Amino acid sequence: MKRILAVAMAAACVVGASGGLFAQTPGVTDTTIKLGSFIVQSGPVAFIGVPVMRGAQAWYNYVNDELGGIHGRKIEFLALDDGFNPANTVAVMKRLVEQENIFALVNPLGTIGMAAVWTYILENKLPVVSPHMNWLTLASPTVPHVFALQPNNESFGRAAAQYAVKELGAKRVAIAVVEDAMGTELLNFALDELKLQGMQPVAVIKYPGTETSFSAYALTLRQSRAEAVLLFSYVSDAAKLIVECDLLGFKPKFVGINTITLQLYDLAGEAAEGVIFPGFGTDPQDPTSEAAAAMRAVYARYYPGELMNAYAMIAYVGAQMVTKALMDAGPNLTREAFIAALDAFTDWDADGMIPPVTYRPDDHYGIKTLWMNQLKTVNGVRTAEFIAEWDWTKHR
Amino acid sequence: MKRAIFWTVVVALLALLPLVLRSYNLYLLNLAAVKIIAAIGLALLTGFTGQLSIGHAGFLAIGAYGTALLAQYAGLPFWVGIPVAGLLSGLAGFILLVPALRLTAIYLAIATLAFGTAVVEALPRWASVTGGYQGMSVPRESFLGVTVTRNDVAMFYLALVMVVVLLWVARNIVRSRVGRAFVAIRDKSAAAQACGVSLAKYKALAFFLSALYAGLAGGLYAHVVGYISPAEFGLGKSIDLFIMIALGGMASLPGPVLGALFLTYLPHWLSGFRGLQSIIYGSALIGVVIFMPFGIWGFVRKWTAPDKVQSLPWPLRAAVEFVRGGGGR
């Protein structure tokens, strides 16, 4: 009898796993919710992936340990390393969906991996929340089950060009751009925006992502006599270029993108003074923000001694967004309820950590308003000072 | 005869795998097949002919982009596109012949490195066709009413056929007059020339074959993953290929197969160890190099040498002797 029972149970498990008999929500049991992600943890991009993973993990741990999970269900956050290699991202996604049977994809990192699994996500109608990438395709056109959070390259590219022309009054604008997927997209939007303003850039310098010497580029920029230079670069490249310009005595106004952080001061020193860059979140080390202090406390509990940076912050906020939607979806958790809960988000700002986010069924854009900051030394302390809100759609 | 039956049974068993494996595991096998084909190609060039190449990912890129672009713009089906792209890549192999006839060892490696880098840099410049740095989606294709691209089961059978055929071809080349010429060039090119082996001819053949294999692997890759971008074919991929044959055992055919399987699965097994995987991965590689100087296959051969086999218990001994049959090389 026991054996028959065991065989029957095994059979039931097999049938259940293949999703045949029970129309159960994937990844959800009475006690757990399984969330999956691909976040690079090794190789050259790990410096972004590690804080992103930790930021998200810290919040999910906190929800499990202190808030008792979501409606009695603990969160299992399964973040796998894809090595920032699209072929691996495809493998990771198949494993998450077909073996681990995840409820949703949350906090995934990297445009190139996402591009490789995009069709797969659409086919499986897998909910995607808080993807960490500037990829325009995520939100345009709207996909019912995909919710972008970070501003995309269109926002950054257009805002930088607009800000240089309209706010700084630059008549001569130059662009320095890294040659990769991100840089190319930013450049196209900035060029288009300048064209709308009736302008042409006085110089466009493109450099490969592996470039180490920027003196020749700085010379070209100086010869172009640009008043403003748009920096579509990663922070280390931007630092090298700014330092080289400074050495030549060339001091235009630099307008960067979200890759620029306070770290630029450490890398470029004095030369970084006055650099303008858009942000979409409060610096987690900001001493004046209570929300940031609460966040730091949670982070320090799980990763003692680790400094929380902007990457960890946005992952943490993204995780908060996920748990809020899970909470709002109610005890009978289904993907439909989860998506409906997200579609009802109105002016949600994670206690002021990010500009307000509103989702509607036809609008999954996420953060639209950028916070323009400027690097400034105030009373001997190097800070990023907030100077203006900028929504590119309102400056046409 | 016995061995022919044995290998037929092995292939037949492999062909049954889609019945038990889910698509994630099949996908990993497909990726492994891509690497196996490319690694065999590189082994023919580097292991057998002694010509160092660390730009081989360039040929993979030509094969992958060739297949995808032929499908997109010329509407060629995959069973035409992959071989044509493979041939294109093989012809591109002659580009490397120019430096290969003048340079040896590390200097040739530098020249091949330049080739690999040039291909990866050239692809995104032609953004209107190749999709630039963003990469491109490979158009979906059907064969006999079944969607093939990104269909793990269909790709598994294609990959299986390609691996079996290409392995068989490589085995026959290696055992022929051509293979012996390759080895002669590797061991002492002056002596080979003195024996009447035309360096130019056989080096050209080695480069062509090697690039052809890499191109075919690239074509398969494009349809397995369904998405390609220039960044995937960078220096890292070339080095990976080199590690595969060094790890598996260069001057053999089972070597690259083992190396490719090892390098495909290891990172996936390790992807759960957050932050530790690079350390484990690195230690595993160092361990293999220290304890198996002739690669995994060299190690296997050492422990299955006739005198070692004699002391094995009966069932193991019989198995080893059967598989070894008339000499594995």
Give the nearest chain B residue to A116 (CA atoms): B227
Here the CATH number for the domain that contains residue A74 is: 3.40.50.2300
pLDDT in tens, A219-235: 999 999 999 999 999 88
Contacts of B127 in chain A (CB under 8 A): 184
Domain contains A362: no
CA angle, A270 then A273 then A276, to 5°: 150
Strands A74-80 and A104-106: unpaired
A200 shares a domain with A52? no
Q: Could you tell me the residue ranges of all domains in chain B? A: 17-237
B interface test, pick of A18, A41, A61, A99 with most B CB neighbours within 10 Å:
A41
- Per-residue pLDDT at B323: 66
A189 shares a domain with A330? no
CB contact under 8 A, A80 and B277: no
Residue B308 has pLDDT above 90, yes or no: no
CB contact under 8 A, B277 and A81: yes
Q: What is the mean pLDDT of residues B155-169?
A: 92
Higher-confidence residue of B245 and B324: namely B245
Q: What is the mean pLDDT of residues A163-184?
A: 90
- Per-residue pLDDT at B262: 87
CB contact under 8 A, A94 and B24: yes
- Per-residue pLDDT at A23: 54
Query: How does residue B4 score in pLDDT terms, banded at 50, 70 and 90?
Result: confident
B interface test, pick of A47, A88, A101, A182 with most B CB neighbours within 10 Å:
A88
- Per-residue pLDDT at A4: 55
- Per-residue pLDDT at B210: 94
Query: How does residue B275 score in pLDDT terms, banded at 50, 70 and 90?
Result: low
CB contact under 8 A, B23 and A98: yes
- Per-residue pLDDT at A241: 94
pLDDT in tens, B79-99: 888 999 999 999 998 887 787
Domain contains A360: no
Alpha helix positions (H), B142-249: 152-175, 177-187, 189-194, 199-225, 235-248
A296 shares a domain with A247? no
Contacts of A123 in chain B (CB under 8 A): none
- Per-residue pLDDT at B302: 80
CA–CA min distance A118, chain B (Å): 10
- Per-residue pLDDT at A3: 55
A243 shares a domain with A142? no
CB contact under 8 A, B275 and A41: yes
Put residue B256 in one of left, alpha, beta given phi > 0 → left and psi -120 to 50 → alpha. Answer: alpha
In chain A, the number of structural domains is 2
Contacts of B268 in chain A (CB under 8 A): 88, 91
Domain contains A14: no
Give the nearest chain B residue to A51 (CA atoms): B275
A70 shares a domain with A38? yes
Measured CA to CA, the distance from residue B193 to residue B211 in angstroms comes to: 24
CB B120 within 8 Å of CB B234: yes
A40 has a chain B CB within 8 A of its CB: no
B interface test, pick of A57, A89, A94 with most B CB neighbours within 10 Å:
A94
Residue A288: phi and psi, rounded to 5, are -95, -10
CB contact under 8 A, A86 and B227: yes
Q: Terminus-to-terminus CA distance in chain A, angstroms? A: 76
Domain contains A364: no
- Per-residue pLDDT at B325: 58
pLDDT in tens, B207-224: 999 999 999 999 999 999
Query: How does residue B248 score in pLDDT terms, banded at 50, 70 and 90?
Result: confident
- Per-residue pLDDT at A24: 77
Helix B277-291 crosses helix B235-248 at what angle (to 10 degrees)?
Answer: 40
Give the nearest chain B residue to A117 (CA atoms): B227
pLDDT in tens, A314-346: 999 999 999 999 999 999 999 999 999 999 999
- Chain B residues with at least one Cβ partner in A under 8 Å: 22-24, 27-28, 31, 121, 124, 127, 132-135, 137, 150, 152, 221, 225-227, 229, 231-232, 267-268, 270-272, 274-275, 277-278
Domain that holds residue A178: 153-279+370-394
Residue with tokens 């466009």: A204
The percentage of chain A sitting over the pLDDT mark of 90, rounded to a whole number, equals 55
Kindly state the tokens that stand for A165: 């022309």
pLDDT in tens, A372-392: 999 988 888 888 888 888 888
Residue A238 has pLDDT above 90, yes or no: yes
Looking at A146-150, A363-367, B75-79, B253-257, which range is the least confident one? B75-79
Higher-confidence residue of A165 and B6: namely A165
pLDDT in tens, A67-82: 999 999 999 999 988 8
- Per-residue pLDDT at B272: 65
Residue A5 has pLDDT above 60, yes or no: no
pLDDT in tens, B119-129: 988 888 887 88
- Angstrom CA distances, B108 to A348, B55, B99, B117, stand at 59, 10, 7, 14
Query: How does residue A109 score in pLDDT terms, banded at 50, 70 and 90?
Result: very high
For B290, the 3-state DSSP assignment is: helix
- Angstrom CA distances, B219 to B162, B215, B290, stand at 11, 6, 35
Indicate the residue of A42, A115, A119 with minimum beta-carbon distance to B134. Answer: A115
Contacts of A112 in chain B (CB under 8 A): 135, 229, 231
Q: Is the pTM of this model over 0.80?
A: yes
- Per-residue pLDDT at B274: 60
Domain contains A350: no
Residue A132 has pLDDT above 60, yes or no: yes
CA–CA min distance B153, chain A (Å): 13
Domain contains A257: yes
B interface test, pick of A37, A39, A41, A42 with most B CB neighbours within 10 Å:
A42
- Per-residue pLDDT at A145: 95
**Mean confidence (pLDDT) of chain A:** 88
pLDDT in tens, B28-62: 999 999 999 999 999 999 989 888 888 899 999 99
A105 has a chain B CB within 8 A of its CB: no
A158 shares a domain with A146? no
A53 shares a domain with A146? yes
Contacts of B137 in chain A (CB under 8 A): 119
A114 shares a domain with A220? no
- Per-residue pLDDT at A18: 46
Domain contains A2: no
Strand partners, A174: A203, A229
A334 shares a domain with A254? no
CB contact under 8 A, A80 and B272: yes
Residue A6 has pLDDT above 70, yes or no: no
A381 shares a domain with A258? yes
CA atoms within 13 A on the CB side of B301: 18
CB contact under 8 A, B24 and A43: no
- Per-residue pLDDT at B75: 83
Residues found in chain A: 396
Measured CA to CA, the distance from residue B309 to residue B299 in angstroms comes to: 14
CA angle, B277 then B282 then B288, to 5°: 125
ipTM value > 0.85: no
- Per-residue pLDDT at A298: 94
A254 shares a domain with A200? yes
pLDDT in tens, B103-119: 777 888 888 899 998 99
Residue A135 has pLDDT above 70, yes or no: yes
A195 has a chain B CB within 8 A of its CB: no
Alpha helix positions (H), B2-103: 2-15, 17-20, 23-42, 57-73, 78-100
A254 shares a domain with A295? no
